[in-house]
């Protein structure tokens, strides 16, 4: 409402009252302050900032509005109006709003922003967060009506209101963070504690085993000696195996080199043949592609040639018709010219004869007149009457002749039009006959097209059938190729197994001969041959069970007999499994991790009694898919021995062996060796040959089908070419038919007479009819006169006698001849005129036809030249096509010949490679055996080097005395039962496991201690923050509560008010209650108080908070509205006397309030523009006093 520049104030340092009538703009004083303090337009009762710009009559176009608020700090002195300004403390904050709803901030006229302004005001003590400096109209009692505690984080309760003023709200975020940290560390500690308990439980579960192990460890040095013995035995076996494998590797290498040298020339020939096949095949494909391109080019030329032929044919037919028309027109022109000549001659003749007749008529009429003169006296009367009658008849005769002449001319014109129609009718008949001919030709071509389409469909069906057969052939070829590969593999494997059975090691072969001779009945076979396992587990069983090469016997005596035989004959060494000495063990099914199979359960023993032997060497070894799977199973809560399908072995101790590029396999077959016989091998070879024969038949059939397919596909383009020709003929016929039909339609329209001729014909016929009627009417009247003349002439003739009659007859005859000549001359003249018009038309038609004929001749000549050019080009392309096809056929024959040679060589190579594969397999097996034994030798040598005697843990008194690791002889080592020794060593592994669990327990316990310490530290910090918050809050709360009681008692003169905690143990849980006891009344809830009581309660709280934390500025809008005059005076006096340390600006209409103010700011409005005036009542009273 303020227009122009208005200055409100200055305000008093303590108590200023703003007064003025309603609607004058008092509240705009507060709005101006809020505007500068950064409030939105909605807080100033406007929708947009532009609504704040003054817009009274005559000032509607103002662009902006600006408010400046001036501050300075003072040193207060004793006088009511006296103070000293602190040097350099002046501060001016302003804000400018624009029509586009934007605004700018300024601090001391320097551009600033909202953030800087609000931060500066907060630093100077103005509470912009809770607006304690501002109490608007009707809001004063809302302070006392706050809830004890906010329901959510977006609201404020009395607790939050006081906590912000006291300053303890700063602890909220650190306390919450500390609480979250404590909770997080509690979770981590619980996890660590659970782990410690689990490890402790595992450790305790091993206590019994530990005690047993410690008891056994008193003999550990002896067992270390056993380990030494075991390592020496392993080293001996490895060395022996290395020697055997080295010899075998050298032998198989030599065989492989001999085989490769022997067949090197065949392989080289096959390679050259393959290169030749590839090269010829590439050449064939290139020629084939080139031939296809030439064919397509030839087809293109042939199509173009057909198009040219059709164009020539069409042009020729058109030329023939044009020539025929031209000849006809020329003949018509000649005939017309002849007829004109005839008409002219006849006309001349007639006119000459007419002249002669007219002269003769004059002579005869003179003779007749002479006779009449001689009879004048007798006939004068009659003659006079005749003359009068003739004079009377003459006009009528002249009219009749004129009419007749007009009728003759009109009839001649009708004849011309009719003659034109007859000519068109003839042309129409010719055009209709031509349509019939074209239709017959088209039907014939359609039949040819249907035949060609049927042939094409037949070829397409044949191509599909051949492609289907070829597809089936390829599928069968692939099946038989795979079958052949499988048959070759099976035959090769069977042959290898048979040869292995026949070429067993010297040791096994010699011992089995003893069995056959009946010398050692308890000897069975190699352990690996006494059971079968699926090929899938071949690598796993070969890796996990090194004892598969051990020889199984019934008793110790059988084993001793075998050893003795080998020693006497110096055949080498062997390891024996004695069935009678095997301990009875539970081989039943067990529960395994993730239900993986046990290797032992996958073996099918040849006899049930051999199962114990397999279990003795395998125990509970499990099979895993891969190493990851194996690790998961092996290192669970229970340790397992696990082998993977690809040959990696994890022992119970955790050591891992196997793997690498070469794996162990062949230790056990999927069939018993005795099942493979020479007959079975022969049958497998025959099956292989049958497969190979069928495979070759399919290959030959495939070649034939491919050739047939190529021929059929080559025929289809030819049929397409014929179809193309026929379709072009059809298209040409369609064009001819279209032209003929158009001509027929045109001729029919012309035959029907064009509108002009038709209209002219109708006009002529109408005119002829009219003239004829007029002629008949004219003839009616002169007929009587002519009859009278005839009667008079008859009377004259009667008077004149025969001479007069004779002369009269001559004159009449001559007159008739003259009339006849006149009629003929008229007809000749009309015909001549018509003929002259026809000549002009015929000449134009001939000229047009000659021009068209000339154009057609040029077109035909051009087409012939193009056809000749195309013929020459197509002849060259056809020649190229023949040459290319001949070359392609030649290359195909060469390719087939070379392919047959290659197939023959490939068959030989396959047999060679089968033999080489067998040798390579043997070589690889021995190389792998050699490598594995070398690795095992190094492994056991390393372990042997680490063995030493040591003091038993927990027994300080025990010391090994005089015990040294013994070195054994080879015979002593061969006589040892390795499996029993290994079993004794494995039992000691439980101590290692216990120590691992113990170490894990200690580690987990350390982790638990660390996390517990962290948790305790975080908890301590959390509690300290909570304690500090509580202490500071309670200190401020107590002071505010005391001041509230004091303020309320002063304001109400005897009442009581209290702030009390809902939960005395935790003020922050439930919040704060504001209870009031007005004078002479009981304690009441705020909600049950009257409006004035609520206002007094709220003001008491505001003054108490001001005492606790003063705010430099308060702006209050009609806070006394709900108070009676007594309470207004009390509040006004309190503000006057007790609030010297703040600047109160109070808008009031109550004289009890503003009369006590130190300064009055009057607000008034004139011409819709607000103005203000400031006065000091004290000075005003002084002036009045004077």
User: Using one digit for the tens of pLDDT, what is the confidence trace for 406-435?
Assistant: 777 777 777 776 666 666 666 777 777 877
* Model pLDDT for residues 54-77, shown as the tens digit of each residue: 888 778 778 889 999 998 888 877
- Phi and psi dihedrals of 1159, rounded to 5? -145, 145
Determine the pLDDT at residue 66. Answer: 92
- CA-to-CA distance for 97 and 102, rounded, in angstroms? 6
Pair of tokens at residue 705: 């089908």
* Model pLDDT for residues 574-626, shown as the tens digit of each residue: 888 888 888 778 888 888 888 889 988 999 988 888 888 888 888 889 999 88
Give Cα 1076 distance to the centre of its chain: 72
H or E segment to which residue 374 belongs: helix 264-374
Q: Is the pLDDT of residue 219 over 60?
A: no
Average predicted confidence (pLDDT) for the chain: 78
Determine the pLDDT at residue 956. Answer: 45
Q: What is the DSSP string of 825-889?
A: HHHHHHHHHHHHHHHHHHHHHHHHHHHHHHHHHHHHHHHHHHHHHHHHHHHHHHHHHHHHHHHHH
- CA-to-CA distance for 738 and 377, rounded, in angstroms? 87
User: Residue 958: pLDDT band by 50, 70, 90 thresholds?
Assistant: very low
- Across the strands, what pairs with 1076? 1057, 1084
User: Residue 129: pLDDT band by 50, 70, 90 thresholds?
Assistant: low
Determine the pLDDT at residue 105. Answer: 92
Instruction: Pick the more confident residue, 430 or 14.
Output: 14
* Model pLDDT for residues 810-842, shown as the tens digit of each residue: 877 887 888 888 878 877 777 777 778 878 888
User: Residue 962: pLDDT band by 50, 70, 90 thresholds?
Assistant: very low
Determine the pLDDT at residue 217. Answer: 53
Dihedral sign (CA 731, 737, 742, 745):
negative
Q: What would you measure as the largest C-alpha separation in the chain, in angstroms?
A: 216
Arithmetic mean of pLDDT, 260-271: 78
* Model pLDDT for residues 677-730, shown as the tens digit of each residue: 667 777 877 887 888 788 888 878 878 888 888 888 778 877 777 777 777 777
Q: 1077: buried, middle or exposed (CB in 10 Å: 19+, 13-18, 0-12)?
A: middle
- Across the strands, what pairs with 51? none
pLDDT > 70: what percent of the chain? 83
Count the Cβ atoms, other than its own, within 10 Å of residue 647: 21
- Whose structure tokens read 């608007």? 136
Count the Cβ atoms, other than its own, within 10 Å of residue 307: 19
Determine the pLDDT at residue 1018. Answer: 82
Q: Is the pLDDT of residue 1138 over 80?
A: no
Map residue 68 onto helix, strand or coil. Answer: strand
Q: What is the Cα gyration radius of the chain?
A: 70
Q: Is the pLDDT of residue 280 over 50?
A: yes
Between the ranges 125-129, 217-221, 608-612, 1085-1089, where is the mean pLDDT highest?
608-612
> Beta 656-658 vs 83-85: how paired, if at all?
unpaired
Determine the pLDDT at residue 106. Answer: 93
Between the ranges 478-482, 492-496, 950-954, where is the mean pLDDT highest?
478-482
User: Residue 978: pLDDT band by 50, 70, 90 thresholds?
Assistant: low
Determine the pLDDT at residue 997. Answer: 64
**Which residues, including other chains, have CB under 8 Å from residue 998's CB and lie 6 or more apart?**
203
H or E segment to which residue 364 belongs: helix 264-374
Q: What is the model's pTM?
A: 0.36
> Beta 523-526 vs 531-532: how paired, if at all?
unpaired
Q: Tell me 598's DSSP state.
A: B
Q: Is the pLDDT of residue 1004 over 70?
A: yes
Determine the pLDDT at residue 960. Answer: 46
Q: Is the pLDDT of residue 1133 over 60?
A: yes
Determine the pLDDT at residue 995. Answer: 61
Burial per residue of 287-305, b for 16 or more beta-carbon CB atoms within 10 angstroms, e otherwise: bbeebbebbeebbebbeeb
Q: How many Cα atoms sit within 13 Å of 561 on the Cβ side?
A: 19
- Phi and psi dihedrals of 635, rounded to 5? -105, 35
Determine the pLDDT at residue 167. Answer: 64
Q: CA 634, 636, 640: angle at the middle one, nearest 5?
A: 35
Q: Is the pLDDT of residue 275 over 80?
A: yes
Determine the pLDDT at residue 989. Answer: 52
- CA-to-CA distance for 625 and 602, rounded, in angstroms? 15
- Phi and psi dihedrals of 604, rounded to 5? -110, 105
* Model pLDDT for residues 546-575, shown as the tens digit of each residue: 888 888 999 888 888 888 888 777 777 788
Between the ranges 242-256, 367-381, 499-513, 800-814, where is the mean pLDDT highest?
242-256
Which of 71, 72, 68, 73 is CA-nearest to residue 106?
Answer: 68
Arithmetic mean of pLDDT, 938-946: 75
- CA-to-CA distance for 20 and 1119, rounded, in angstroms? 15
Least confident residue range of 154-158, 1003-1007, 1140-1144: 154-158
Determine the pLDDT at residue 220. Answer: 60
Q: Is the pLDDT of residue 487 over 70?
A: yes
* Model pLDDT for residues 857-880, shown as the tens digit of each residue: 888 888 888 888 877 877 787 788
């Amino acid at each position: 409402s303020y227009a122009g520049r208005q200055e409100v104030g200055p305000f008093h340092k303590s108590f200023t009252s703003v007064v003025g009538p309603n609607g004058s703009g008092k509240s705009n004083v507060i709005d101006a302050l809020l505007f500068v303090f950064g409030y939105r337009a909605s807080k100033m009762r406007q929708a947009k900032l532009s609504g704040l710009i003054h817009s009274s009559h005559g000032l509607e176009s103002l662009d902006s509005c600006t408010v400046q608020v001036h501050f300075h700090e003072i040193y207060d002195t004793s006088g009511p109006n006296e103070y000293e300004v602190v040097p350099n403390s002046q501060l001016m904050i302003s804000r400018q709003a624009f029509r586009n709803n934007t605004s700018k901030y300024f601090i001391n006229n320097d551009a600033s922003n909202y953030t800087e302004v609000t931060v500066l005001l907060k630093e100077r003590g103005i509470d912009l967060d809770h607006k304690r400096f501002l109490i608007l109209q009707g809001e004063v009692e809302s302070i006392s009506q706050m809830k004890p505690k906010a329901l959510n984080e977006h609201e404020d309760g009395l607790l939050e209101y006081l906590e912000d003023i006291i300053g303890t709200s700063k602890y909220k975020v650190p306390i919450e963070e500390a609480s979250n940290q404590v909770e997080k560390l509690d979770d981590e500690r619980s996890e660590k504690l659970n782990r410690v308990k689990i490890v402790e439980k595992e450790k305790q579960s091993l206590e019994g085993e530990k005690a047993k192990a410690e008891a056994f460890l008193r003999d550990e040095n002896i067992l270390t000696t056993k380990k030494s013995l075991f390592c020496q035995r392993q080293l001996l076996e490895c060395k022996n195996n290395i020697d055997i494998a080295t010899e075998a590797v050298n032998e198989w290498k030599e065989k492989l080199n001999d085989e490769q040298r022997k067949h090197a020339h065949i392989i080289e020939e096959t390679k050259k043949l393959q290169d030749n096949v590839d090269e010829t095949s590439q050449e064939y494909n290139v020629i084939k592609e080139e031939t296809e391109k030439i064919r397509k080019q030839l087809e293109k030329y042939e199509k173009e040639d057909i198009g040219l032929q059709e164009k020539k044919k069409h042009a020729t037919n058109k030329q023939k018709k044009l020539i025929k028309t031209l000849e006809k027109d020329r003949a018509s022109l000649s005939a017309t010219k002849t007829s004109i000549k005839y008409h002219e001659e006849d006309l001349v003749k007639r006119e000459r004869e007419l002249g002669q007749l007219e002269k003769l008529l004059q002579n005869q009429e003179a003779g007749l007149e002479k006779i009449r003169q001689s009879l004048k006296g007798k006939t004068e009367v009659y003659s006079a009457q005749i003359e009068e009658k003739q004079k009377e008849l003459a006009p009528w005769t002249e009219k009749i002749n004129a009419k007749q002449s007009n009728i003759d001319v009109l009839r001649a014109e009708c004849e011309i039009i009719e003659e034109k129609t007859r000519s068109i009718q003839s042309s129409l008949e010719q055009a209709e006959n031509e349509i019939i001919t074209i239709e017959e030709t088209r039907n014939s071509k359609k039949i040819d097209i249907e035949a060609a389409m049927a042939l094409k469909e037949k070829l397409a069906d044949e191509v599909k059938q051949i492609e289907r057969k070829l597809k089936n052939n390829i599928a069968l070829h692939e099946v038989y190729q795979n079958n052949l590969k499988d048959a070759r593999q099976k035959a090769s494997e069977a042959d290898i197994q048979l040869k292995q059975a026949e070429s067993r090691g010297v040791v096994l072969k010699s011992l089995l001969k003893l069995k056959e001779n009946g010398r050692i009945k308890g000897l069975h076979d190699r352990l690996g041959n006494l059971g079968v396992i699926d090929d899938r587990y071949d690598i796993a069983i070969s890796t996990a069970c090194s004892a598969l090469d051990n020889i199984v016997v019934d008793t110790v005596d059988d084993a001793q007999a075998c050893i003795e035989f080998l020693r006497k004959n110096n055949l080498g060494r062997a390891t024996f499994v004695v069935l009678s000495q095997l301990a009875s063990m539970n081989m039943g099914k067990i529960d395994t991790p993730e239900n993986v199979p046990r290797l032992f359960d996958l073996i099918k023993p040849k006899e049930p009694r051999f199962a114990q032997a397999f279990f003795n060497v395998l125990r509970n070894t499990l099979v895993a898919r891969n190493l990851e799977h194996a690790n998961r199973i092996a290192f669970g809560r229970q340790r397992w021995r696990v082998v993977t399908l690809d040959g990696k072995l994890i022992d119970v101790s955790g050591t891992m062996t196997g793997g690498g590029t070469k794996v162990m396999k062949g230790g056990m077959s999927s069939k018993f060796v005795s099942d493979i016989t020479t007959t079975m091998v022969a049958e497998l070879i025959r099956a292989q040959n049958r497969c190979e024969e069928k495979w070759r038949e399919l290959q030959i059939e495939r070649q034939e089908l491919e050739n047939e397919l190529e021929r059929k596909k080559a025929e289809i383009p030819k049929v397409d070419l014929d179809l193309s020709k026929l379709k072009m003929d059809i298209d040409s016929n369609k064009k001819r038919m279209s032209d003929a039909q158009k001509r027929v339609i045109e001729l029919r329209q012309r035959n029907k007479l064009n509108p002009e001729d038709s209209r002219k014909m109708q006009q002529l016929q109408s005119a002829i009819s009219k003239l004829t009627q007029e002629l008949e009417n004219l003839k009616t009247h002169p007929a009587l006169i002519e009859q009278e003349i005839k009667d008079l002439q008859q009377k004259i003739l009667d008077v004149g006698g025969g001479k007069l009659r004779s002369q009269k007859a001559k004159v009449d005859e001559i007159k008739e001849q003259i009339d006849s000549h006149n009629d003929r001359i008229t007809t000749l003249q009309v015909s001549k005129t018509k003929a002259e018009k026809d000549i002009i038309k015929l000449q134009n038609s001939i000229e047009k036809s000659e021009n068209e004929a000339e154009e057609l001749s040029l077109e035909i000549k051009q087409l012939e030249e193009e056809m000749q050019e195309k013929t020459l080009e197509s002849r060259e392309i056809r020649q190229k096509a023949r040459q290319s096809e001949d070359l392609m056929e030649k290359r195909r024959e060469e390719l087939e010949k070379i392919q047959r040679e290659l197939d023959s060589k490939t068959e030989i190579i396959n047999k060679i490679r089968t033999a080489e594969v067998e040798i390579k397999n043997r070589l690889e097996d021995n190389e792998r055996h050699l490598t594995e034994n070398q690795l095992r030798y190094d492994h056991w040598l390393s372990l042997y080097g680490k063995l030493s005697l040591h003091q038993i843990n927990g027994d300080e008194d025990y010391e090994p005395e005089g015990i040294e690791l013994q070195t054994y002889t080879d015979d002593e080592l061969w006589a040892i039962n390795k499996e029993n020794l290994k079993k004794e060593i494995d039992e000691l592994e439980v101590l290692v496991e216990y120590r691992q669990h113990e170490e894990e327990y200690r580690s987990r316990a350390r982790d638990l201690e660390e996390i517990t310490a962290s948790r305790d530290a975080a908890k301590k910090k959390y509690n300290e923050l909570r304690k500090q918050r509580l202490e500071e809050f309670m200190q401020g709360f107590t002071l505010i509560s005391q001041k509230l009681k004091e303020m309320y008692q002063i304001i109400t003169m005897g009442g009581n008010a209290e702030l009390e905690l809902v939960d005395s143990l935790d003020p922050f849980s439930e919040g704060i209650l504001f209870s009031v006891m007005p004078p002479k009344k009981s304690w009441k809830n705020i909600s049950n108080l009257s409006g004035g009581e609520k206002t007094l309660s709220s003001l008491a709280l505001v003054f108490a908070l001001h005492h606790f934390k003063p705010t430099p500025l308060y702006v209050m809008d009609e806070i006394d509205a709900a108070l009676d005059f007594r309470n207004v005076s009390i509040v006004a006096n309190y503000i006057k006397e007790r609030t010297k340390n703040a600047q109160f600006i109070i808008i009031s209409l109550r004289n009890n309030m503003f009369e006590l103010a130190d300064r009055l700011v009057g607000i008034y409005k004139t011409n819709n523009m607000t103005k203000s005036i400031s006065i000091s009542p004290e000075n005003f009273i002084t002036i009045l006093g004077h």
